[in-house]
Chain A
Amino acid sequence: MGRLLKKIYDICGAISGGLILCICVLISGQIVLNAFGRLSPGTLPSTIPSYADFSGFMLAGATFLALAHTLRAGGHIRVNLVTSRLPKRAQFFMEGFVLIVAAVVIGYAAWFVGSLVLESVHYGDVSNGIVPVALWIPQSVAAFGITLLLVAILHTFVELIQAGEPILSTPDEV
C-alpha cells in the first residue's frame, strides 16, 4: 500500500514536470510564430489559439499534481525554529498535531474544490478565450491534486505513528 502510494506521488510529480516542459514548448512555439510573423508575414498562422489559457491550465495542473510529491520530498516550507529545540518526544506530538491540522484544512479545501468541479459541470462553464475549454476538466485535475495531498498527509501521519519519532523535514529556502 505504502509503496503503491509513493509510486502515485512520484508519477504525478513527473506529470507536473512534463506539464512545465509543455508550457515551455507551447510558449516557445508562439515566440517562433511571432518571429516568423515579423520576417515573412502570412506564411504561418500568427498565434497559437488561446495559448495563454492553455499555459495557465497546465500551470495549475503542474502545481496541484506536484503537491503530494513535494510534501513527501520535504519541499513545502515550515518553520522549525521552535520545534527543533524541543525534546524528541514533544517533537513527535507536535508533528502529529501539525499533520492532523493540515489534514483537516486540506480535506476542507478538497471538498469545496470538488464541489466547484460539480458546479462547473452543472452550469457547463467554459473559459472565455478563442478556444472555449470546459472548466471542469482542469478543475478536476486541481481537485485530484488536493485530494492526493490529503492522502499524502494521512500517509505521513500513519508513518509517524509507526516510527514513533519525529519524521518531518524542512527544505532550504529558495
Chain B
Amino acid sequence: MTDPMIALTLLALLIGLLAAGVWVAVSLTIVGLTGLVLFSNAPSGLVLASTLWGHSHSWPLTALPLFILMGEILLRSRMSDDMFTGLAPWLSRAPGRLLHVNVFGCSIFAAVSGSSAATAATIGRMSIPELTKRGYPESLIIGTLAGSATLGLLIPPSIILIVYGVATEQSIARLFIAGILPAVMLVTLFAGYVAVRAWMNPDLIPPMDQTYSFKEKLRASRRLVPVALLIGCVIGSIYGGLASPTDAAALGVVLATILAWSSGAFSWSLFGAAVMSATRTSCMIALILLGAAFLSVSMGFTGLPRNLASWISSLDLSVTALLVALTIFFIILGCFLDGISVIVLTTSIIMPMVTAVGIDPIWFGIYLVIVVEMSQITPPVGFNLFVIQGLTGIDILRIAKAAFPFFLLLLLGVVLISIFPKIVTFLPGLIGN
C-alpha cells in the first residue's frame, strides 16, 4: 500500500473505534498495533510492553498528579465560596461591572485548577445566580463564563501543557512561562470586550448597588490573598529557576493543604476525596499518554509522520497557510474530541511536520492550547457548554450562541500570537536555556 492509503486506513480505523465508544487510550493502542503489525517488521508485543513501562515513570510526568491534587484540595476548601464576594467590590466601578467577576474569577481559579470544566462549574455556581438576580443580561453572563473558563487550559500551572510537554519532550517549565503573556492577553481581550459592550449600550448593565471603602474591599477579599500568594509562589519558583515544575507541584500540594486546613471547613474526608479524585484523573490522563506514546513509537516504525512531513515541506507551503489549515483541522477535530486527545493525537502525527517547516515547538504548544480552548465552546462536543447547560438548564445552542463572541476573541488571540510570536517566546527567551 502507498503511504496516503496507509494513513487513510489508520485514520478511518481510529475514527471508527472512537465513534463506537472505545476508550480513547485503547483506541490509540489499537491503531498503534495495527500500524506495527501490518506496515512494519517490529515485534509489536515487545514494543508495546517496553513503551508502556518506559513512559510511565518519567520525572516531568510526576508533576501531573501533584498539580491535579493541588487543584482538587483548593477546590474543596472555602476559597471558591469567597470568589464572588472577594472580587465584586473591586470590580463594581469598571465598565461592565460585575460581569468582570466571571472573567477574573475564572482566571484566578484557572490558575489553581488547570481544568476548564471545573472552572466553569465552580465559578458559574456562584456567579450565575448572583448576576441574574442583579439583572445582568443572560447572554453576557453565560458568554463571559463559558469563554473565561477556557483559560483554565492556558494559565499555568496547566495540566494540558504538562501533557503536551511530556508527549513532545519539551521543557514544562518553559511551556508554563510561555503561557503567561498569552493568558494575560486573552484576559485583557475578554475584559475589553465586556467593557466595549457596556460603553456601546449603557442600559445593558444594571447600576452600581453599593460603594465600598478600600478597607471593606480588603476585608472582602482577605481569603483570596493567600490563594494568590500560593499561585505566585508556585509559578515564581519555576520562573526563578528555583524549582522544577515537579518540585513546585509538591510544594503547591503542601501549601494548598495548609491553606485549606487554616481556612476552616476542611476535613480528613474532604482530603481523602481530593486524593482519590486526583488519583483517578491522573490515571486517566496517564493512560491516554501511554496509548499516545505507543502510537507515536509505532508511527515512527512505519515512517508515516516523516513522509508526511517531507511531503508538506515539498509543497513549499508558507507557514501562514499551514497554520490556517491546521487551525481549521483542529477546530473540526475539537468539535468531536476532548482537548487531551486532540493534543496527544497531534503530537503523534503532526509534530514532525510542524518542526519541518521551522515552527518553534514551545510556540506551537501555546497555539495548540488556545485552539483547543476554542473547541471547548463549540457544539456538539464543547465541555464548557455541557457544564453550563447542567448549571442553568438553558438550551445548548443558546449557550453556544452566547459564547460565540468569545470564540472569535480566542481566534483573534491565535491571529495575534501568529503575527507577533514574541508574545509567546519573549518570557521563555529571557530565562535562556
> Are B287 and A81 neighbours in the complex by a CB distance under 8 Å?
no
Q: Does A171 contact B (CB under 8 A)?
A: yes
Q: Does B275 contact A (CB under 8 A)?
A: yes
> Are B56 and A142 neighbours in the complex by a CB distance under 8 Å?
yes
In the complex, what residues of A have CB within 8 A of residue B336's CB? 79, 81
> Are B285 and A174 neighbours in the complex by a CB distance under 8 Å?
yes
Contact with B along A27-38 (1 / 0, CB 8 A): 110110000000
Count chain A CB atoms within 10 A of each CB in B18, B118, B287, B288 and give the residue with the most.
B287
Q: Using CB atoms, name the residue of chain B closest to A166.
A: B21
Cα of A23 to Cα of B65 in the assembled complex, Å = 9
> Are B20 and A59 neighbours in the complex by a CB distance under 8 Å?
no
Q: Using CB atoms, name the residue of chain B closest to A116.
A: B49
> Are B21 and A78 neighbours in the complex by a CB distance under 8 Å?
yes
Q: Does B338 contact A (CB under 8 A)?
A: yes
- From A24, A64, A111, A173, B253 is in contact (CB under 8 Å) with A24
Q: Among the listed stretches B244-252, B313-321, B363-371, which one makes contact with chain A, having 4 or more residues with CB under 8 Å of it?
A: B244-252
Interface of A is mostly: helix
> Are A83 and B278 neighbours in the complex by a CB distance under 8 Å?
no
The size bracket of the interface on A is 35 or more
> Are B45 and A108 neighbours in the complex by a CB distance under 8 Å?
yes
In the complex, what residues of A have CB within 8 A of residue B275's CB? 17, 20-21
Q: A31-B250, A62-B283, A70-B280 are in contact. Are A115 and B21 (CB under 8 A)?
A: no
Q: Does B92 contact A (CB under 8 A)?
A: no
> Are A62 and B49 neighbours in the complex by a CB distance under 8 Å?
no
Cα of A21 to Cα of B274 in the assembled complex, Å = 11
Q: Does A126 contact B (CB under 8 A)?
A: no
Q: Does B179 contact A (CB under 8 A)?
A: no
Q: Using CB atoms, name the residue of chain A closest to B118.
A: A174
Cα of A59 to Cα of B278 in the assembled complex, Å = 13
In the complex, what residues of B have CB within 8 A of residue A55's CB? 59, 62, 246
> Are B387 and A172 neighbours in the complex by a CB distance under 8 Å?
yes
Q: Does B57 contact A (CB under 8 A)?
A: yes
Q: Does A98 contact B (CB under 8 A)?
A: yes
Count chain A CB atoms within 10 A of each CB in B24, B53, B115 and give the residue with the most.
B53
Cα of A76 to Cα of B25 in the assembled complex, Å = 8
> Are A106 and B26 neighbours in the complex by a CB distance under 8 Å?
yes
Q: A20-B275, A62-B65, A174-B115 are in contact. Are A77 and B280 (CB under 8 A)?
A: no
Cα of A171 to Cα of B117 in the assembled complex, Å = 11
Q: A27-B250, A94-B20 are in contact. Are A69 and B243 (CB under 8 A)?
A: no
Footprint of B on A, CB under 8 Å? Answer: 13-14, 16-17, 20-21, 23-24, 27-28, 30-31, 52, 55-57, 59-60, 62-64, 66-67, 69-70, 73, 75-83, 94-95, 97-98, 101-102, 105-106, 108-109, 111-113, 115-116, 138-139, 142, 146, 168, 171-174
6 pairs from A and B in contact (CB 8 Å cutoff) = A17-B278, A20-B66, A62-B283, A70-B283, A70-B287, A79-B337
